[in-house]
Structure 1
Amino acid sequence: MTTPNGEARPSRPTTRRGFEIAIICALTLEADAVDALFDVHWDDDGSPYDKAEGDTNAYSTGAIGRHHVVLAHMSGMGNANAAAVAANCRASFPNIKLALVVGVCGVVPFSPTGEEIVLSDVIIGDGVIQYDLGRRLPDRFVRKDTLLDSLGRPNVEIRGVLAKLKGIRLRKQLISNMNNYMDVLRTEPLLQAEYPGTDNDMLFEAAYRHTEDRQSCERLGCNGGLVPRSRLGAGQADPQPSVHFGLIASGNSVMKSGEDRDAIAKAEGVIAFEMEGTGVWDSIPCVVIKSACDYANSHKNKVWQRYAAATAAACAKAFLRHWVPSSSAHAVAEKSDREGRQSVHHIPFPKNRHFVERTDIIEKLRRMLFEESKDQQVALVGLGELVKKLNLRCARDEDAKESVQRYLSSEDAGSWFLVLDNVDDVEILDGTSQQQGIYHFLPEHDNGRVLVTTRSQEVAVGVAGRAVVRLHEMSSEEATSFLEKSLIRKDQLQDTKSMVRLLEMLTYLPLAIAQASAYININDITIRDYIRLFQKTDGDIVKLLGTKVRDRTHYDVSQGAVATTWMISFDQIRQKGDEAATLLSFIACIEPKAIPRSLLPCARAEQQLTSAVGTLCGYGFLSRRKGNEVLDMHSLVHLTTQVWIEGQGVAETIRKSVASHLMEIFPSDDWENRELWRKYLPHTLRILGASGGVGVEDCQLGYWAGRCLYADGRMQEAVKLLEHVVAIEEEALAEDHPDRLASQHALAGAYEANGQIKEAVKLLERVVAIREEALAEDHPDRLASQHALAGAYEANGQIKEAVKLLERVVAIREEALAEDHPDRLASQHGLARAYQANGQVEEAIGLLEYVVQIKARTFSESHPSRLVSEDLLRYFWIFNNTYNCAFALVFKAFLAVVNWLQFASLD
């Protein structure tokens, strides 16, 4: 049989794995137009196909030309819905090679080259820009457009097809075929695929606005200036839809502003606006094909929607004539039948005599596979080689060779059990455009069961849906038993302290334990000797973890090396080119534990970060703490990742990128930010300490980290870091550069708090001298350094100098700042303290009482600034024999501190 195009009609796929094309539509009218162009509807030719567990999508299946096509009906518009639909579609139809996002869009009236675009013209996207991802500043929006923040290019195959279609002959052919398919759609009256007329194609000037959103232009009498177009001139026949290739802007809101449309088009070079492309782009190789139903301005209406939906569907079908399937359904069926008749032999490995039974896992698998009988396919997923050392005895009890042979040679296979071991690459599972993956050949029968072992959560879910068993690290008892069985010299078992230390260092990973015991056995060394080797440099540790161990229970020697195993997984993640590889490299440069999710780079959108975290958690490289807002990386994985990126020659580039990101998000040292910067500090100090310390480009990050260390009371660390920052800036920046002076000011404060008073005075005198020469007397930076110098004078016993300087600072700030301004209150507090030290007790008490009164109105009871002033006033009262007032204030301060400590303990 043939299709209406004269092409050979493909046979109905026997399973969901036979579909390679997905078409995704946001609106019912868009899906109706696509559905009407199906050459065959498989839903009308037998029972509908089932779906993967948890898939909430609605599908229509059929054929267009040589292609088996699944049409996904979205429940709503937008990139989030599109991303969910694409992910579910990939789960149910794992062999999808291409997704077409088909429907209507708003267009820019003129392309960057000046080509006219009119309503019903079709846009084929050769790239998608997420134009609404960025930062909203008070006066403008700044789009994130760096390499890490941008959607990637289409894959090589898609780029090749698009390049071919842009040629003169094939572009004409594409438009001709599209118009032929439009003739088919016009035969269905319910589609309303008739041209609405040039009178309804009005392009107002960009600045002319539609004043009432709920009223039509006709009802409102919109009469603004119209932009003339040569294709719509009077007396001409109705224009035929044309096809344009270009960038498409995708966002989460409808574009209804001519001025914003033109501004974005000019900045980004886009020719259309839509709302689903970004969501699909990262899930499945994708082409966006959308037709113009409006000009993305405030005059948009729905008059053109149905006709535009029809032209988009017609263009999508015309496009598929130029897309070559990986192989015809007939050829695949013949290949499957031929290979199904071949004998497949599987020789089990020798029994692992060091096997330590994981009883709970074994029993769970046995129930799922052989007792509950509801899951035909089960996946066992774990970090590195955890799944290897499970060494399933239930698999050994089955004659896999005979079971597989019986299944492949007979329709009546009988009972069988198939184990697919080490399926860690998605390409092995799904295949490529040149070769079918193993998932295509997995047997399906009520009497059969399949167990897949893998490091990849993506593979596990793709094969088994919800029937996934997560294999965690060994318990301390299991790890001890495994080590005892693996060591030749049993006298070493008496050194229990060293055994415990070794297992803790190896984090109870079975393959790492196997490597360590083999190394100890081969080199006839003690456990303590191995620990000493392990505690050397990071490179030495990874070399130990990469040592190949001969083991007849593995396929090859390299599988006995845990570091090698992980690096293979790293390469697989990198080759996929998604956010997970970027995230893996990012985390390699920071601390492996207690990683706040808010610290991570969200390159394009939250959904990409969620997907990247999910991928790394799926491999077992990351784990989520309760609440999912804090992550941890396995310490040995973290170490191996560092060596891996160094081996790629990109370690320094990544370190600079991480430091730049941290500088962008690192908070100020304000008390209100304390909870956040305490979480960020360990990771920031890690990156600042990498590659020999702070560089010029890192000074700002080092400055803020130093200030936060100071605010946290970690004075010695603050001094060390700020000294390094100042040394770098003194070489790189002019002596009056604001950044250099700010760092010197911060270092002087740390010196004073650390008891290095003379160093503080010397440094601040230099800062004050430069700022007094360069800045106005009421400049905040000048006053701040004078205030700090006065404090250093007081600490150094130079009381009169402190009083004189502070009186000048207070006078200026009282004139320039409001009475509750923190800087004004701080200088008054400092002057009161200097008065007390100078014997001016009454002046000190009077001024400090005023400060406490203002702070009581301004700050909470537990705010440190308020508590410090109240505590100092209590001291003044006691010193001046005003005991009753002092007791009342002490008790009040005591309650506030108790409340704060209670809150801190909860944190």
Structure 2
Amino acid sequence: MSITQINHDADHTIILDPKDYQVAWIAPLEIEAKAAMYLLDEQHRGRFPVSRGDEYVYRAGSMAGHNIIIVTLPAGQEYGVGSAAALASQVKKFFPNLWFGLLVGVAAGLPNLSCVPMRDIRLGDVLVGLPVGENAGLVPYDLGKETEDGFQPLRLGHSLAMTEPIVRSAIGSIKLEAPYDTEIFLPYYEKIRDCEHATGTFDDPGQDDDNLFQACDNGHEEIVERPRRSKSGYQRARVWYGPIGSGDKLMKNAEKRDGLRDRYGIIGLEMEAAGIMNRIPVGVIRGVCNYGDRHTNKKWQPYAAAMAASYARALLDEIPSSDRSAEITKDPHKPCYYIPLPRNTRFTGRAAILDALEEKFFGPDLSQKVALVGLGGIGKTQIALRFAYQMKEKRPDYSIFWVPVLNNETIERAYADIAKELRLQKSSGDKDMKDLVCQYLSSDEAGKWLLIVDNVDDQELVIGSDEKSGLEGYLPQNENGISLFTTRSGHVAGDIAQPDVIEIEQMDVEEARILLEKSLIQKQLLKDEAAVIELLTHLTFLPLAITQAASYLNQTKAPIRTYLDLLRHTEDNGMAILEREFGDNTRYRGSRNAIGTTWIASFHQIQKSSQLAIDLLSFMSCIEPKAIPQSILPDAKPDELEWAIGTLCSYSFLVRRKDSDVFDMHSLVHTVTRGWLRKKDLERRVSNGVIRPPPCSKVPCSRR
């Protein structure tokens, strides 16, 4: 990379060379440029040299090995063909080695539900400009001349330059995957979905706010009834390929919109491409944010901009980078971040644990591996997440990476995403991305890093099997690196990080109350202080249970005492509520969030290694959960019994009282276990003596 450093006193300014950049990413709106910036693999530090007459500031970076510039229209400048033409002229002049451009942003979608096949375009869908039959990929419907037969556009757009062949070829490559082409770029959208812009995030506003109005013969409009799409996966959004109309005015008339659609066969309307195409032959990629009628608003712009940007990012993956792009090397001292979960703004307390982590890693002992262990739902992931963002702020010289160990697929995906962040490319000699990432992070070149390995509960995933290697073979070792593990299993924690294991205790009353307050929409519910304390006590101050309760109260708008009554009324009610799933963007998408299903997953993990532990848990769920003497437990070999009890204690389902053989079972675990047994039709079998206490024992009976 050709750079010059200018020293103004102690201030060093890096001057970037325009000759090094070959791809122009034109994003006319600020929200469109913001989405593009989040998708950069690396942002190049420095500025381009400007002089009088230069009207635009460019942001530089790299994507998929390409050196690109991102440019947007200045705030307050009028949008349209003329402004876009002026911008394109300066970009073309300023960057002499420009190879191709992408015009990426939002547009109006033009559904046609009467054509065959039906074109059911929805808000958030992606439009890609491509020629179809006699129609060019771009139709400048405002540019042309008046004739005796009416206004005629410029040869249906054929006077405009064509998109560069390499871009059309890359579009064709993605189009071959239709209708699954969304799966190619949705991972990029997921990466920026929860990123923040000036007024919120890039999240999907939801199909309830997606209304298409049809123009009627009487001049009125009516809502068109359309079936809902699937909420997730490739079926939620679609990519549409075809000609896109470009004009100088924002369309807000359903009748005129339909006329343009039917006359020119266009799939969307936008306002800049006709001014850019003859200067920079761009690929036009647009996210649908409205339907070109009077109901247009800005609510859908962030989501639509992010979807278009994600498609454009995937498009760059299809185009091999030029030799000059390869010349610019990554700043070896610039940290990388892969944290797939957003910052949790509701996070509360836990200062002592965060301080303990800081002391473990950066105190006198300089521990390289630390494990957080505790009951499922006690907040291990959220503590690790808080520590990650705290590290990002306090220790900016550290790269931070995150691997969720939910299953083999999440491990593979995380390592692949980390490799992308590090810009590591697999060669024929590499077995897989996990090898590549492990080797790199184990080298001096990697610098300082923090690796968070979350949810290390399944020992088979860690150790591996005869058919598949486990995660432990791909954990990097480097004196400059530190690793934080979270697990529900004390056995796993000890194997990984002994003696640097931090046991997570329950929240105190004030921490739990603040968490409930932050999670509730209706703050007036907190006025019933007695009910609040009763609820928190019943939930044993467990963060996940509190968040789940708040979600229920937010949805039903019920008083706290009503929720308490439901929990207490019958075990069936209580179990149903504890298993009710809820949305939470600080937890993994597709994972089960409810406290009941979280613990049942742990039951299955325990069952793999100790059936006796499950038998003991089942037995204890049929008696009172407090003050359980070991003497009443079913007979078993002493070593097997101790191991089974230790397993339940390691998952925090049981707590051994100090210096005794008396145990307490977590009250909510007691409820969930009984519900689990009922579902499996095991309760009667357990109670009737398949797992039977000694005949002489006096066992306190649990409330039925």
TM-score bracket for this pair, using the shorter chain length: 0.3 to 0.5
The TM-score, its normalising length taken from structure 1, stands at 0.35
More strand by share: 2
Structure with greater contact order relative to length (CA < 8 Å, sep ≥ 6)? 2
Q: Decide which structure has the larger Cα Rg and report it.
A: 1
Which protein is richer in helix relative to its size? 1
